[in-house]
Structure 1
């Protein structure tokens, strides 16, 4: 058979492409042709219409709304989450083939006019909310990355320009307007200020982008204007990312409601360009500026004060919790909650180099690096405990783990879930705790070892990773060795 597929995950980084590869390989192994469109963070190249027209069926392996889904109208379809395509590609392929065969067995007169591509029954309200939220987060991450790295570079340059660690504070207090008016291209201090302000401008888009694309996920393009306006209003009143979450969902539902109004034919043409953006923006503006802004801003201040007040054992415990969450499901919902907490914390206004939000981000990223590195190490230390395929995956896991791609451990977890997850969770918790205890900080939300020059306390960064990797590798080896030893004991003894 000829099948087409669309894959997408919340961040559009790892699962999107792993699912595509898994489906292609499963199809090849069974003698089918599977052509995949990856809707990832770097964009997507739409499938050729001729390929879609020649296809027997379609697989939607997506945790986000599939873009231009109507292209596949009329094709028998299966709709699964992206993780199922990674873990069970053969089963997903079998379900797609069954759907094609069932459609072929149905008389033409009884076939539905539209494709049976409605959302899968398992897509509960909670799943939809997570999809909408992660759409906003996935569009926000590039702004965090660009802004965070520019700010980190500014702090590094400032330490040279001002001659010491106090430079990172001095650059935040510099008179930016005066420096821009008389910019000296030979002055390191001036360049440090330019980098800082450029990064801060990128950070200024975080809440509007988060809000705008949550609304977009709910209402499509009609949600963009009220979503961005609501996010800007949240930033204006100091409501931060919590305000952006509220306005994103509110703007999406308001825009969706207005777009479904029954209006006269003469008014339809101006609905998307005048009526929907005007009315929905007005509603969201009043909601945030007048009604909800102050309470949400108070909650944000409370959260910031709570983080700032954590000391000693409390901050180490928070690091252990975040690390454990990152290692628990390796890119799944729990992992994404911890990552979102770290990333959105970077959007807090008025951060300084010593802000606890940067320490949270470091603990989150380091915790996410542990599992693939630990399993790669385990395959080298005790190769006989792993299959040949796992040993090959271990070679790739070195690079994936070093690059903060937790999904590099998924092949191991799929083959031996509880042992790998237990070891990963414990090791990642150790790393998160050590990271917080040593005061490691990070402005960039991604990059792994490749952003090591931008890390506050690089030695602590390395020690935290090594501690968690060592614990996790030893634990997974012990657990697997116990299984190997116990297996012969369970066999009956010959008479």
Structure 2
């Protein structure tokens, strides 16, 4: 990082009291040096990144960062706050703040700075020196790695400082943790470092070998902090070798298979699924959240050693593991895990719904005036006329029906996959197929998936003799779990679920008048509340579940139409608002508004996220109001849609398309008017008062042109 930070980019007396003000103060230094070309545009990008996930880390550290088109070269600025600034860390305010700026598209530079800094921050001497250093130049040199922590702490001109400065930089100076005695990824055990102190080199005295994988949702800071923490703990232990594979945002370098084969234990410290987890099968395994790898690495090493000594290598530990079950902190509640399991199934099911729905709708469209007869035509294997458009319509319809036939099995199979990984696929698909056989439908698929996953997890907890482990995932687990799931679905719970499915279908078919309009309002509010978040997905899943059959009811298709229409409102409204009242928005937001036209028209609600992140108190209520209006009007007009995606591009395939567009236009106008009024009220604040405390960092503090708060 020799050119990324200089003394001019260091503020040892940062007086800001909010994260927005801190980012602005440090960004102004970047502007002065020509590293940032548009202060407010850059700060808007920082705010958007901060809205995705807090950048505060344990230990009093804040790392706001982003990639931005307004950055000319990778840059790092540092500020030290005496009072502390809240960056959302669980343990309180941050006194060490690092603002990282990278040019748009410069992923390598961005991740290199972050990963290097994250590793340095695990060095207590490094952070202690930053808290005590009195000279900006010394602080910059320390962060660059040009001096050691001891030299920076003693940078008062004494001879000791001079002597220390001549010493090589410590491990905090390099992303690769220079000087580490841990073996590097890709090295074989034979080519690795010398045995730990006290080891004689013989087989009986060789160190305990551990391989570890660290990962976090963003794949940046916590990933490398956990890796550094585990490596440090391994060096501190007398007879431990540890090699860490960091699975970051820019991909990962796989550990050498020889290193994995020679390992005595495995540590997974992760908040997202470990990629290619089956490489570590058959080893004593400790599986925790990434923060545990940062906060208690020595305990994890002791725990995996204990498992190895006791021979605790169960089928569950040896299997590839669940891609969903252990996502998040170890204390994550069952309700959160359940939602993730269900969404795993839904995410795999939706493409089948989209493909099948589009093909069926296309079949009806090709049928023209006789489109309704397409569904009753014989199989195209028996009769297909190349010159008849009806035959092509029948072909499209029948392919779509075939795709729909996979919906419930895929849903059940991938719910089980989310719980128990690949061993859950067979019983999950079997349970889903049985659900179709007994007419238990979508609800039956949900139950079958959960039962299949739970059954596999229960089997994996059984202590299996080593001789049996090889056939467990391919023979024993699929056989036993399929028998259990099949018995429960056919004999025990299948009929009650089928009755519940029929009851729900009858209820939807009976919706009319005020009941239907009220449902449209609720669905519209949900679709616009978090713009692609969990609440949005619940409404969308409810709608797709209704049409995920070969012959959905009219009510189900009306619900799908209302959900799609409401989801299009927020980005279209923000695009319109930036067009009619551009002065209320920053230059960056006006550029985002151009893209929002296409995103909104394509039914991508996330197109409004940059606006909501910068100004949630104005954008989200306005979006919800417009979504409620659109949902209600769509239901009132009787617009119907059997295709779960596509936005305005599938309008010709739906019922009452003109009134459907009217409903969308009405909601867009309502949201646009509200957001313009709300932002205009701020513009006309008496006396030209400054922005209220807590206004996001995209606001122009000294400009006459109001922007998004």
- TM tier relative to shorter chain: 0.7 to 0.9
2:581 is matched with which residue? 382
Q: Which residue number corresponds to residue 416 of structure 1?
A: 615
Alpha-carbon distance in 1 for matches of 2:541, 2:376? 29
User: Tell me, what secondary structure is at the counterpart of 2:640?
Assistant: coil
Matches within 5 A, 1:322-337: 322-337=523-538
- 1:376–1:491 distance in 2 versus 1, CA, 3 Å: closer
Is the CA contact 1:322–1:429 (under 8 Å) kept in the aligned structure 2? yes
In 2 relative to 1, CA 285–423 (structure 1 residues): closer, same or farther, beyond 3 Å? Answer: same
CA contact (8 A) 1:239 1:293 kept: yes
User: So what's the TM-score if we normalise by structure 1?
Assistant: 0.78
Q: Distance in 2 between matches of 1:317 and 1:438?
A: 13
Distance 1:481 1:133, change over 3 A: same
Note if 1:134 corresponds to 2:346. Answer: no
- Residue matched to 2:45: none
- Higher normalized contact order (CA 8 Å, seq sep 6+, divided by chain length): 1
Name the residue aligned to 2:382. Answer: 181
Q: Which runs of 5+ in 2 are unaligned?
A: 2-48, 54-63, 76-99, 103-108, 113-173, 178-209, 243-266, 271-287, 290-327, 692-709
Q: Distance in 2 between matches of 1:182 and 1:116?
A: 58
CA distance in 2: counterparts of 1:417 and 1:364, whole angstroms: 22
Deviation at 1:490, TM superposition (A): 5.3
Out of 638, 646, 661, the residue aligned to residue 439 of structure 1 is: 638
Which residue does the alignment assign to 1:260?
461
Structure 1 spans left out of the alignment, 5+ residues: 2-14, 36-53, 58-71, 86-91
Counterparts of 1:214-253 in structure 2 under 5 Å? 214-253=415-454
The alignment partner of 2:67 has SS state of helix
Match of 2:235 in 1: 108
Could you tell me the TM-score, scaled by structure 2's length? 0.56
Q: Is the 8 A contact 2:432 2:448 kept in 1?
A: yes
For 1:303 and 1:220, locate their aligned partners in 2 and report how far apart those are by CA, in whole Å: 31
SS in 1 for 2:493: helix
Shift of 1:192: 2.0
Please say if residues 24 and 34 of structure 1, whose CA atoms lie closer than 8 Å, have aligned partners that are also in contact. no
Q: Structure 1: how far apart are the matches of 2:485 and 2:614?
A: 48
**Corresponding position of 1:467:** 666
Query: In the alignment, what sits opposite 1:457?
Result: 656
Given that 1:23 and 1:34 are in contact with CA atoms closer than 8 Å, whether structure 2 keeps it comes out as no
User: What is the SS of the residue equivalent to 1:34?
Assistant: helix
User: Is contact 1:222–1:256 with CA below 8 Å preserved after alignment?
Assistant: no
Alpha carbons of structure 1 residues 266 and 137: separation in structure 2 relative to 1, 3 Å: same
Q: CA deviation at 1:263?
A: 2.0
Choose the corresponding residue for 2:555, options 356, 362, 371. 356
- Structure with bigger gyration radius: 2
In terms of fraction of residues, the more helix-rich structure is 1
Change (3 A) 1:106 1:263: closer
SS at match of 1:261: coil
**What is the alpha-carbon distance in structure 1 between the residues aligned to residue 230 and residue 682 of structure 2?**
45
Match among 284, 291, 302 for residue 485 of structure 2: 284
Root-mean-square deviation (CA, aligned residues, Å) is: 2.9
SS at match of 1:404: coil
CA contact (8 A) 2:552 2:642 kept: no
Q: Which moved more, 1:144-153 or 1:22-31?
A: 22-31
1:303 maps to 2:512: no
Give the C-alpha shift of residue 412 in structure 1: 0.8
